[in-house]
Chain A
Amino acid sequence: MIEVVELVKEFRKPQPTTGRLAGVRQLWAPRRTVRAVDQVGFAVERGEIVGYLGANGAGKSTTIKMLTGIVVPTSGTVTVNGLVPWANRKKHAYNIGVVFGQKTQLWFDLPLRVSLETIRDLYRIGAADYVSRIDEFDEVLQIKDFMDTPIRSLSLGQRMRGDLAGAMLHRPQVLYLDEPTVGLDVVAKQALRDFIAEQNRVHSTTVMITTHDMDDIEQLCRRIVLIDRGRVVYDGDLSSLKRRYLPFREVVITPGANADTAYIGAKHADRLENADGTISLRFDPERTSAAAVIAQAASTADIADLHVNEPKLEDVVRLIYAEAER
């Protein structure tokens, strides 16, 4: 569905000029080049949900802008459903839906209803389809509650739900989301995720999402593409990403009041005494299992409480960034 080969984007920014005839002098102003996206390549199949992750400034938004046809690449190729986005702009528009967390694609001063009707008309969506899709979207997004409110008066959560409805109204095959959940409350975030997951499941919509929200990733993304300073540093599924970067898991034990903590331990597990009096048994899931560790620990001493620490994507990402820094 999406094919990206050796994609590069360089921004040439003139040094700012001021004073007399600044606009004209700027034509000759020295320029400095920023390479925002550097030789990026990947392919996405129909129906995939891909998390496109990276630190701030890594080049995520720039990549999305090239995939959507907003920005023309410096070099490399992009095809989405067989079309080059910036060259086949009009046709390509029917294939994609785009949501930017930072700026709305809707008409700011007008009620959501007018924006949706205008999108209906511009994309030549039939009246019956329009009604049924609005009904369908409303079930998860509850947009009918604020159809007559101008976009500028909507809460962020409402605005994002409106934007998502606008982006999906023409039933595009690909949906791009650039930090859609930033600043949203838990309920709005969940509505967004449910909606994305449902569109993907029911209509096989291909989804590419950038986010810093680990719950977004854990709930939605089967596949992760990680970029750092414009380059792809990981492309694969979420669980192998965790395995590769966080090979350890932990059982954290709170000893009982009279337990002799010195004996708490298990085979193939490293013992760490934590400052709060708990004990971590760190193990490699390839060599032993959480169940075995817990059973052995329970047989050595009285245990008040325990929990298993699953590897957190946050930790994974932090590790990868730390590695990239070096």
Chain B
Amino acid sequence: MADLLRDFRILLRVAWLTELEHKANFFISVIGALAFNAGQLLFIGVLLNAFGSIAGWTPAEVMVLFGIRMASHSMYAFFFRRVIDVDLVVHTGEFDRYLLRPTSPFLQLLTRRFNLQQFGDVIVAAAILAVALPKASITWHPLLALWLVIAIGAGGMLEGALQLARGALAFRLQNTQSLTALIDTVFGTYGNFPLQIFGTLGSILFTVVLPLAFVGWIPAAIVTGRTDSLWFPTWLAWLSPAVGVAGMAAAIFFFTRQSRHYSSPGS
């Protein structure tokens, strides 16, 4: 573990230096992220103004949900975004190098670039939460705050896990990139809603099959005290961050397994 952290630091340095080579992209990316999220924000704003509340949740509660979703997405983007590069790394043969070095190929994948541009997402998420959390009437407790931080981290892991598992398919299949955009879109669109609006069946599906619930809805329900909207007991909701952590562990395992099918292009 200590070894892995040390390797992480070493690889982060190269990633950072590589990023500086491309620094012209930085501001463009941040502005792009802001513009994209502003668009989403506007969309939610319009919805709220039109309906006042969504499926029984006040505008402030929905804002909290949106903020949490954005925050866990920014955690994903910041730490795990490079998992979407698996296709590229496999098809160009860059993965050769990861297998030849005495450290984790997964770690080398994550650090192939430093995700400076993802700061844009982090800033937007922090801003939304800063506005939304005081508006919603939340009874704060230090443990609740700690739980929220963990839940946001776990939500990021879950999104990362899905993308990583998708990426791992690239070892055996071509043309899987379209799934990346699909996952992005599903999380970015449906993830922002209190899932009870999709009915019980819909909310079960979005918990069990496509686990969107963990990146916004469940943590928001806990924080705002709206666990009455969930279809399962509250005590389970408190344990929900375990899903993100376990999901990431399973995805890394799956990735490592699939990497045995790597056929290394070119000669």
Taking beta carbons and an 8 Å cutoff, which residues of A are in contact with B?
11, 14, 16-17, 22-23, 26-27, 56-57, 60-62, 65, 68-72, 86, 89-91, 93-94, 96, 98, 100, 102-103, 105, 107, 109-110, 114, 118, 121-123, 150, 178
Contact = CB atoms under 8 A, between A and B. Distances in A.
Contacts, number: 86
Interface stretch (B14-22, B36-44, B191-199, B225-233): B14-22
Given A70-B99, A70-B262, A122-B101, A110 B10 contact: no
Nearest to B92: A103
Interface in B80-131: 93, 96-97, 99-103
Contact of B100 (A16, A102, A105): A105
Interface in B171-218: 173-179
A86 B262 CA distance: 11
A107 B178 CA distance: 28
Chain A CB within 10 A, most for which of B7, B101, B179, B266: B101
Given A93-B102, A98-B100, A122-B103, 11 more contacts: A23-B177, A27-B173, A62-B267, A70-B100, A70-B262, A71-B262, A71-B263, A96-B100, A102-B266, A110-B17, A118-B11
13 contacts: A17-B175, A27-B173, A57-B267, A69-B99, A70-B264, A71-B262, A71-B264, A94-B102, A100-B96, A102-B266, A105-B96, A114-B14, A122-B102
Interface of A: prevailing SS: mixed
B141 interface: no
Interface size range of chain B in the complex:
20 to 34
A70 B259 CA distance: 9
Contacts of A90: 102-103
A56 B267 CA distance: 9
Nearest to A178: B267
Contacts of A91: 102
Contact of A14 (B22, B97, B173, B266): B173
A77 to B, nearest CB: 16
Interface string B231-267: 0000000000000000000000000000011111011
Contact of A89 (B99, B178, B261, B263): B99
A-B CB proximity, top 3 nearest: A61-B267, A93-B102, A23-B175
Contacts of B135: none
Contacts of A27: 173
B264 to A, nearest CB: 5
A93 B96 CA distance: 12
Chain A CB within 10 A, most for which of B21, B102, B261: B102
Contacts of A71: 262-264
A123 B10 CA distance: 11
A59 B176 CA distance: 28
Contact of B13 (A17, A94, A118): A118
A26 B174 contact: yes
Nearest to B3: A124
Contacts of B179: 23
B267 A93 contact: no
Chain B CB within 10 A, most for which of A23, A69, A93, A150: A23
A227 to B, nearest CB: 13
Nearest to B263: A11
A65 B267 CA distance: 9
Nearest to B95: A70
Contacts of B103: 90, 122
A110 B16 CA distance: 11
